[in-house]
Chains A and B, each alone.
Chain A
Amino acid sequence: MKRKFIEILGETFLRLSIIISLIFLFLFLFMIFSKGIKVISWEFLTRMPRSGMTKGGIYPAILGTFWITIVSIFIAFPIGIFSGIFLSEYGKPKWLVDIIKTSINTLSGTPSIVFGLFGLSVFVIGLNLKVSILSGGLTLAILILPTIINSTVEAINSVPFDFREAALSLGATKSQVIRNVVLPYAMPGILTGTIISVGRAAGETAPILFTAATFYSRRLPKSLMDEVMAMPYHIYALMTEGTSPQYQIPIAYGTAIVLLILILFINGSAIFLRYRIRKRRG
């Protein structure tokens, strides 16, 4: 009797813990959407802000997030793929690989604000890149690099060994095998990790606080050396700066909706892509 009771209690607890998480997720999404949906319009997406951020759209923030994210992926993607190739295909000497792996794990556990301070010290001040798209993009590139490397390693390790051996036995060199056999097979997996990184880069605030973002700019960015508005920072700034919260808060929720939809779409496509890969390979 007591055993049965404990069993029911235990299962209820386990079931509840996932139900609570799910309820929170839906409540969270519902509240954000219901508070911000009324400001969403075509103009909101395509116009400049007006009257000291209390009216108008968030076009420059969307554009800023776009550019910072593009720059970071552009830098992190090639470095990530080549790193992954080295770790899983060459993998020698072992001590070096161990150091590299530890570095990657440590990087991925470093707080995002520390990346921001690093970017401020090295890119903004040290290399004199100023507060700019480039400084922010570089900072975010290092932040997302571990994710891209790890997904590359994982994807490459899932390539069946026969493929490599078949290619090698046909006289292909190691780099030919990697480029023509391993990478094409691993690419969907690598892309899944990269897409998730895109979502991460687009949503991060702390790393761009001092390296790229500004609350208000009168014009759209013209070069990589311009500081920009960005959606995550815009949400924060609207909630904590300025003098008209009654107008700013709805715009903050509106911006949050745009950012959320963007990221849900990005992560959704990564999840879908991975589902397809698994299905194809049984």
Chain B
Amino acid sequence: MKTKEFLFKYVSFLAASLSILFLLGIILSIFKEGIPLFKEINVFDFIFGRRWHPTDEPPDFGILSLIIGSISVTIGALIVGVPLGVGSAIYVSEIASSNAKEILKPFIEILAGIPSVIYGLFGMNILAPIVRKIFNIPIGLNIFSTSIILGIMIIPFVSSLSEDALRSVSKDVREASYALGANRIETIFKVIVPAALPGIIASIILGFGRAIGETMVVLMVSGGTATIPSSIFSPVRPMTSAIASEMGETVKGSLHFQALYGIAIVLLIITLLSNLLMQWFVSREKNEKKIY
């Protein structure tokens, strides 16, 4: 009896500890494969080097254009996805009737479940030709098209976290605002949204993390050119796209292989930081709620 109790608790404990192990394993393995690169190339040249020619002789491993590629499509995605995602969240939590809510929420979830490769297919084969025609440009695979697809992809993530934040604003606050004679929109934008702001910021950071880490869409839609973009209609090669498309051609342990893991280190650091920041905002929101 006693041993059975102990065993059950111990197994649960071990299972839960695996998450720490997996996270450490991911961080260590990426660093282990990537760090040897920096014996050959210094970190500064790697991050701020403008030339990414990994297969030339001699090769160039500067990832500035890849970083700028990632950042440009991510900013684009936020411009498209944040207003739509936060707007949808406000609509669902503040305006929609409970019946409409019951119908709308599953649709947003369906959007979240669509595999990224199918978004990529849509962007590459349907959206890009349309963009090319409308703007009369030579290639439709560029920052603009990628931003639209990525932006739509992050809507469900932004929206669901924002909605949690909006929903947890206490009812008293709303009623106090109406009692002062404010109408619904004034209440939403001057009272509820400010009260839910930490959570909404967390949802934007979540969207940022999703967009910068997304692989298949950027791989298929961003055009793949490793140069610093000159306009929103320039093709780019974001970090994830370089890793995914080049890893297959490399030999294990080669400089190119290590450089791709080096890119993953940069990506991992960015997402780790954005994640911690997001969790900080979420916990701040929870702490503030206790005051009411």
Contacts and interface: CB of A to CB of B under 8 A. Distances in A.
On chain B, which size bracket covers the interface? 35 or more
Contacts of A28: 114, 122
A22 B113 CA distance: 14
B132 to A, nearest CB: 16
Given A14-B87, A20-B84, A145-B22, A121 B33 contact: yes
Nearest to A233: B117
Contacts of A209: 244, 247-248
Interface stretch (A47-55, A107-115, A161-169, A220-228): A107-115
Interface in B212-270: 212-216, 219-220, 240, 243-244, 247-248, 252, 260-261, 264, 267-268
A146 B116 CA distance: 19
A267 B109 contact: yes
A259 interface: yes
Interface in A30-75: 31-32, 35
Given A111-B213, A173-B1, A100 B20 contact: yes
Interface stretch (B23-31, B43-51, B57-65): B23-31
User: Chain A contact residues: over half helix, strand or loop, or mixed?
Assistant: helix
A206 B215 CA distance: 7
A15 B95 contact: yes
Interface string A258-269: 011001101110
Interface in B87-144: 87-88, 90-92, 94-95, 104, 106-111, 113-118, 120-122, 124-126
A125 interface: yes
B32 A236 contact: no
Contacts of A14: 87-88, 90-91, 94-95, 188
B91 A18 contact: yes
A106 B13 contact: no
Interface of B: 1, 4-5, 8-9, 11-20, 22-23, 25-26, 29-30, 32-33, 83-88, 90-92, 94-95, 104, 106-111, 113-118, 120-122, 124-126, 152, 155, 183-186, 188-189, 206, 209, 212-216, 219-220, 240, 243-244, 247-248, 252, 260-261, 264, 267-268, 271-272, 274-276, 278-279
19 contacts: A3-B186, A21-B108, A31-B126, A32-B122, A79-B18, A83-B18, A87-B16, A107-B19, A110-B213, A116-B244, A117-B260, A118-B30, A120-B247, A121-B30, A145-B18, A175-B4, A206-B215, A260-B114, A263-B114
Q: Which 6 A-B pairs have the closest CB atoms?
A: A111-B213, A17-B87, A203-B115, A82-B15, A10-B185, A86-B12
